[in-house]
Amino acid sequence: MVIGYFNACEIETKQKKGVTYMSLQKNGASLKGTFSKAVAFSAALLTLTGSVGSLSAAYDPCCPPEPYCPAPAWDPCACEMPDLVIYADFLYWQVHPEGLEFVRSGGFSPSAISTIDQTGSIVSPSCELEPGFRVGMIVDLGCCNWDFYAQYTWLHQCFGDTLTAENHPDLQPLIYNQAIGQNQFVPIVVGEEELAAPLGPLSLASAEYDATFNVLDFGLGRTFAVNNCFDFRPHLGFKATWQDIKYHVAYEREEVVLPPENDPVPARRVDIHNKTDFDGIGLRSGFDAKWRFSPCFSVVGGVAVSAVWSDICTYRQDTLTQNETATKNIDLKQDTCALIPVTELLLGLQYDTTWCDTDIFVFVGWENQVWWNLNRFIYIENSTLLSPILEPDVVPANVGTNNIQFGPHGNVTYQGLTVRAGFGF
């Protein structure tokens, strides 16, 4: 959000002193009766109210009756703005990607007719506050308060969660891989019968989200001085972005001990690597507003919307590790042409001052950004059929491996503190 020093002209506070005299003179006989006293009191109150209003207008430090640089009738753009404004932001934002649920803990009874005695939970990586920065500039084009602006924003997000069976009973995966899914069984022999033994719960589930956020905004703006207290600046330009988004999920199962006639099922680990390359550009438009409620302090806000076009590339690679041997059992890629809407909101307080002919401002506010439908990881639904675990030298049937979930899985939301310092020359 481009918020800076965009006053159309400086305002000089002018104060006037005045004294209002009010008197009620008696002419002839004195006022008598309650009605006469009420009339006199009302007249005095109205006279006093008018006097206070006149004094308030004369002393108003925010909206003096005359601007410092009055424009002649033939030139409505005579007021000057700084030739160059530069600023830097410190960002402390919370990042919340939707659709990252990776494990379930409890919540289901052993059978459909039994009672569950504990509330389960569905877990996704916890939202965290991450530091970042933004740098920008506003250049006066010397034409009726038109300006060129550009700003670059950087933020790196890295957070995750790990759950173990010691603290969370009955862990079950929510991101499917045929080597770790719920509906699997182990063929066993008991006596002369061939039976199926289901796998036990997970011993570990972990997830880590890692993304780099690079955004460049640039375009043109035009400042309008609505009055001596309020400036309005619409702008139109472009938003470019290049983002590298990774989501790594890992599941582990312990060794399954079977009856003596059968070999144990060794411990196994599945690593699911999701990656999205998002490079795009599109139109960006919005407005900034600034309301001065004192000579030095202002309420500043802004709204912007963008439509970023991109050819999004999404990758998924899964690796099964068993008996110290790694096997890649999923390798997928998807290219999607998409138009990603982006909304931005900003509101805060700004302090302006001047030192050695240099305009200085400090801004503290709260900012929100929503990147709609950006989560496009490749997810596979859990099979509704049983998928047997066979010996390594036997090729298993691909049961339920084509249940791919197409379409976006949620938005990515940024919100948090924005602290800005800037100079105008």
| Other CB atoms within 10 A of residue 194 CB | 9
Structure tokens at 34: 């309650």
Residue 349's pLDDT is: 98
Report the domain count for the chain.
1
Of 163-177, 232-246, 282-296, which range is least confident? 163-177
DSSP per-residue letters across 265-292: BPPEEEEEEEEEEEEEEEEEEEEEEEEE
CATH classification at residue 221: 2.40.128
- Above 80 in pLDDT, residue 348? yes
Residue pLDDT, tens place only, 368-405: 999 999 999 999 876 544 444 444 444 344 445 567 88
Report residue 29's pLDDT band, with 50, 70 and 90 as the boundaries.
very low
Report residue 187's pLDDT band, with 50, 70 and 90 as the boundaries.
low
Highest mean pLDDT, choosing among 39-43, 143-147, 414-418? 414-418
Name the E strands within 33-100: 84-97
The whole-chain average pLDDT of the chain stands at: 80
- As to burial, measured by CB atoms within 10 angstroms (0-12 exposed, 13-18 middle, 19+ buried), residue 30 is exposed
Give the C-alpha separation, 317 to 248, whole Å.
Answer: 10
Residue 402's pLDDT is: 64
Residue 383's pLDDT is: 55
The shares of helix, strand and coil residues in the chain, as percent rounded to the nearest 5, are 5, 55, 40
Mean pLDDT of 328-332: 94
Looking at residue 261, its amino acid is: E
Check residue 257 and report its DSSP letter.
P
> Is 14 part of a structural domain of the chain?
no
Structure tokens at 47: 């006279």
Identify the domain containing residue 384 by its residue range. 79-424
> Is 30 part of a structural domain of the chain?
no
Residue pLDDT, tens place only, 240-251: 999 999 999 999
Q: Check: pTM over 0.75? Answer yes or no.
A: yes
Residue 396's pLDDT is: 46
> Is 233 part of a structural domain of the chain?
yes
> Is 13 part of a structural domain of the chain?
no
- Above 70 in pLDDT, residue 218? yes
Structure tokens at 303: 């709204």
Residue 210's pLDDT is: 96
- Above 60 in pLDDT, residue 63? no
> Is 363 part of a structural domain of the chain?
yes
Q: Which residues of 82-111 are buried (b: 16+ CB within 10 A; e: fewer)?
A: beebbbebebebebbbebbebbbbbeeeee
Residue 201's pLDDT is: 73
Of 11-25, 42-56, 375-389, 393-407, which range is least confident? 11-25
Closest CA to 220 of 207, 204, 237, 241: 237
